[in-house]
Structure 1
Amino acid sequence: MTELNGTVGPRFEPVRDAVADQLRSGAEVGLSLFVDIDGRPEVDLWGGHSDAARTRPWERDTITNVWSITKSVTSLAALLLVDAGELDLYAPVARYWPEFAANGKEHVEVRHLLSHTSGVSGLDRPARLDDLYDVRAAAARMASQAPWWQPGSASGYHVLSYGHLVGELVHRLTGRSLRDFTHQHLVRPSGADFGIGLRDADLARVADVIPPGIDVDPSALGRDTVAYKTFTGPSFGAGAANTPAWRAAELGAANGHGNARSVAEILAPVAREGAAGHGRLLEPATIGRVFDEQSRGTDLVNGLHLRWGIGYALPDRRTVPWIPDGRIAFWGGWGGSMAVLDLDRHMTISYVMNRMGADILGSQRAAAYITAVYRALGAADR
């Protein structure tokens, strides 16, 4: 029998049931799910198995690659610098990174990097995944490129380039790597069990990701499209996340390692309008910038209809009908993991798993859990 561990508040028993159903059916292999409301852990669940053969249990301290939830942490790092007055969202990137002005990018602004509208959603070919592991060199290549579309005119999801672009700004302003900066200012103060990349000491408790069976196939895309350029700049498969090179790298777009609890511990201050357990992390006005809509429409890379604010997606019922309208910021990781930051309810929902689904954003499992959370809150309000 697959075991589900942890606790839920009385009104959230249906959430436990939803998770148990997915484990029982075999749709879920291993996972963690966490719901924080104003600093109270209303849902803290973990269970299943950490391996595809289902021989090792998913423990309380099991961690895994959370894919693009990493971008949400990277965005928060940038917002810290905005809050401190060191980074102006509407300033040209070249103010802080002069080389970025090359090839017609002198007017690209910081907000364009944070909203996937910069025109630099990957490396010009030829590109290999190994190229991204040298973070400074890859960032320099991105700075030298011409944009692949008119910056600011549309979003083109920065699949793997996001961490290099935002991370270079962090490096230019602080002299620290993105990995070190997030550890010092986000991970350590919150006590979160999270890192960009993975330490050798943590290898024994990592759950390998279980690929969805079908990777992105760029050959089906037109060679002149932004999507083709992005998915071949460089090409990579989900299995890369289980390799030593990926785990050792600093990929601020995609190789964060943690679990639902640690993701929530880092991101919950956004939902609490800046308040953190160790004091105020950000001013409410800075949090409000998240909701400055930067683009709305079909993304040039992933093909989803999206609304992008500063650093986070905003509710869009066409794409994620199970996330309600309101002051909500969110994003997910490839295969289904999700982080939902609900300012109206001061609530953070975080879901992390090892078995990847085939959806681009979210999954049926994520939808079931998040729907159950909101239904539980609705029942309590009546």
Structure 2
Amino acid sequence: MATNGVVDNGFEAVREAFDAEPRGGSALAVIRGGKVVVDLREGWRDAARTVPWDEETLVNVYSVAKPVIALAVLLLVERGRIALDDPVKRHWPEFTGGASVRHALTHTAGLPVFPVPRPAEAWADWGLLCADLAAATPEWPPGTVAAEHALTYGHLLGELVRRVDGRSPARFVAEEIAGPFGADFGFGLGADDQRRCAELEFDAPDWPERNAGEPGSVRTRAVENPAGARDLAVVNSELWRSASVPAVNLHATAVGLARFYDELMRRPVGAMMATAEFEGFDHFIGSEVVWGLGVQIEPDGSWGMGGLGGNAAWADPAHDLAIAYVTRRLGDFTTVDRIEQALNPA
């Protein structure tokens, strides 16, 4: 299916980068100075390739979700409801891990793995998974080691939001972020939004194996429990779409994510997020990283987050650009790399 959408003059190379490898269902948005300058989509919403991908299609973007739930906590910091160096226990009395709010935001809380084996049905039980985390023993002293909290991040931060504000994480994000930012995304989708969702699929049958870590590694343990986060039967189900898993199950449009970063670049809280808090080796990612408060910071000063399967969204303050690429076909980051090169040629 041909690419649909609009591209402003000067961004033709970005369209070429997007067109180079159709995924059978993907979208790209770029905003400059508050104006959408690239809004492209291609392919289909469904695996049977019968429903075209349109401007209202939502797709699960995995870890691209993490800065959204991080912002929810930072809005409470801005309002004086919570402080970065507060012990998590101050707001969540059952929590025994010893981490601070800052540790939770920077993937240094030492809790990258849900400690109790749970089936996929547990994704629908917010209280159960939060209780598991509250009782968990950190793998390292909080603040000493970074390991992206692949699945636990959203429950750590989301439960802080719930305890401090009283609203569920999904409601808080809808009312305090998605609505004010004009961003089409959310957690815990209702029936109408679920009907807009794209079906995920793998680029090849061995995709889960290609993206697995070594047996027993932090990476492997972090993504395999509760079951189902990389199982198509789960992530394409009503169970997953209606649940709140703020680390990994934000369902979003590309334009919605670009609007999120465009707004952040214009608010003091964006500068707060993009301040380096940890620099060093991340034991989940397996490489050196710079973590801000909920975002990865790159050497060129851009900041944002990638998501499993090739999704990504980020801010490029040097060029006043907010960019988001989303796909339903889980593969690698070659398309994102081409788009970034087209936006900032050497």
Which residue of structure 1 aligns with residue 194 of structure 2? 203
Give the deviation of 1:222 after TM superposition: 4.7
Give the deviation of 1:81 after TM superposition: 1.0
d(CA) in 1 for partners of 2:134, 2:69: 19
Pick from 324, 328, 333 the counterpart of residue 354 of structure 1: 328
Which residue of structure 1 aligns with residue 343 of structure 2? 373
Instruction: Sort the Cα spacing of 1:216 and 1:142 in 2 relative to 1 into closer, same or farther, 3 A.
Output: farther
d(CA) in 2 for partners of 1:219, 1:311: 24
Cα deviation digits, residues 238-289 of structure 1 (max 9, x gap): 41210111111011111111110111222322223x1xxxxxxxxx2x3332
Which residue of structure 1 aligns with residue 111 of structure 2? 120
1:7 corresponds to 2:6? yes
DSSP 3-state at the match of 2:26:
strand
d(CA) in 2 for partners of 1:344, 1:97: 39
> Is the Cα–Cα contact under 8 Å of residues 261 and 314 in structure 2 kept in the other structure?
no
Q: TM-score scaled to structure 1, two decimals?
A: 0.84
d(CA) in 2 for partners of 1:219, 1:303: 12
1:221 corresponds to 2:214? yes
d(CA) in 2 for partners of 1:129, 1:268: 35
1:150-189 paired onto structure 2 within 5 Å:
150-189=141-180
Give the deviation of 1:228 after TM superposition: 4.2
1:247 corresponds to 2:241? yes
d(CA) in 2 for partners of 1:125, 1:352: 32
Give the deviation of 1:216 after TM superposition: 5.2
Pick from 99, 102, 107 the counterpart of residue 111 of structure 1: 102
Give the deviation of 1:218 after TM superposition: 10
1:86 corresponds to 2:69? no
Pick from 216, 223, 237 the counterpart of residue 231 of structure 1: 223
More moved, 227-236 vs 171-180: 227-236
DSSP 3-state at the match of 2:202:
coil
> Is the Cα–Cα contact under 8 Å of residues 211 and 238 in structure 1 kept in the other structure?
no
Give the deviation of 1:192 after TM superposition: 2.5
Amino acid in structure 1 at the alignment position of 2:251: H
DSSP 3-state at the match of 1:146:
coil
CA RMSD of aligned residues (A): 2.0
d(CA) in 1 for partners of 2:279, 2:157: 21
Unaligned runs of 5+ in 2: none
Cα deviation digits, residues 16-71 of structure 1 (max 9, x gap): 12222222xxxx21111111112011111112222334333111211111111111
1:38 corresponds to 2:12? no
d(CA) in 1 for partners of 2:55, 2:144: 44
1:283-362 paired onto structure 2 within 5 Å:
284=268, 286-315=269-298, 325-326=300-301, 328-357=302-331, 359=332
Instruction: Sort the Cα spacing of 1:353 and 1:228 in 2 relative to 1 into closer, same or farther, 3 A.
Output: closer
Give the deviation of 1:351 after TM superposition: 0.7
Amino acid in structure 1 at the alignment position of 2:324: S
Q: TM-score scaled to structure 2, two decimals?
A: 0.92
> Is the Cα–Cα contact under 8 Å of residues 67 and 253 in structure 1 kept in the other structure?
yes
d(CA) in 1 for partners of 2:119, 2:334: 32
1:271-290 paired onto structure 2 within 5 Å:
271-272=265-266, 274=267, 284=268, 286-290=269-273
d(CA) in 1 for partners of 2:213, 2:293: 31
Pick from 328, 334, 344 the counterpart of residue 364 of structure 1: 334
Instruction: Sort the Cα spacing of 1:75 and 1:308 in 2 relative to 1 into closer, same or farther, 3 A.
Output: same
Q: Post-superposition, which runs of at least 4 consecutive aligned residues in structure 1 deviate over 6 A?
A: 217-220
Which residue of structure 2 aligns with residue 280 of structure 1? none
Instruction: Sort the Cα spacing of 1:144 and 1:216 in 2 relative to 1 into closer, same or farther, 3 A.
Output: farther
> Is the Cα–Cα contact under 8 Å of residues 83 and 101 in structure 2 kept in the other structure?
yes
Cα deviation digits, residues 116-168 of structure 1 (max 9, x gap): 11011121132333223211221121011110122111211111111111001
d(CA) in 1 for partners of 2:238, 2:224: 22
> Is the Cα–Cα contact under 8 Å of residues 66 and 352 in structure 1 kept in the other structure?
yes
Unaligned runs of 5+ in 1: 275-283, 317-324
Cα deviation digits, residues 328-368 of structure 1 (max 9, x gap): 211011101111112233321011111111x4xxx001111
> Is the Cα–Cα contact under 8 Å of residues 125 and 232 in structure 1 kept in the other structure?
no
d(CA) in 2 for partners of 1:215, 1:169: 32
> Is the Cα–Cα contact under 8 Å of residues 30 and 324 in structure 2 kept in the other structure?
yes
Paired positions, count:
342
Amino acid in structure 1 at the alignment position of 2:170: R
What percentage of residue pairs aligned between the two structures are identical?
Answer: 35
Give the deviation of 1:292 after TM superposition: 3.2
> Is the Cα–Cα contact under 8 Å of residues 349 and 370 in structure 1 kept in the other structure?
no
Instruction: Sort the Cα spacing of 1:127 and 1:59 in 2 relative to 1 into closer, same or farther, 3 A.
Output: same
d(CA) in 1 for partners of 2:321, 2:174: 23
d(CA) in 2 for partners of 1:173, 1:216: 40
Which residue of structure 1 aligns with residue 15 of structure 2? 16
> Is the Cα–Cα contact under 8 Å of residues 96 and 172 in structure 1 kept in the other structure?
yes
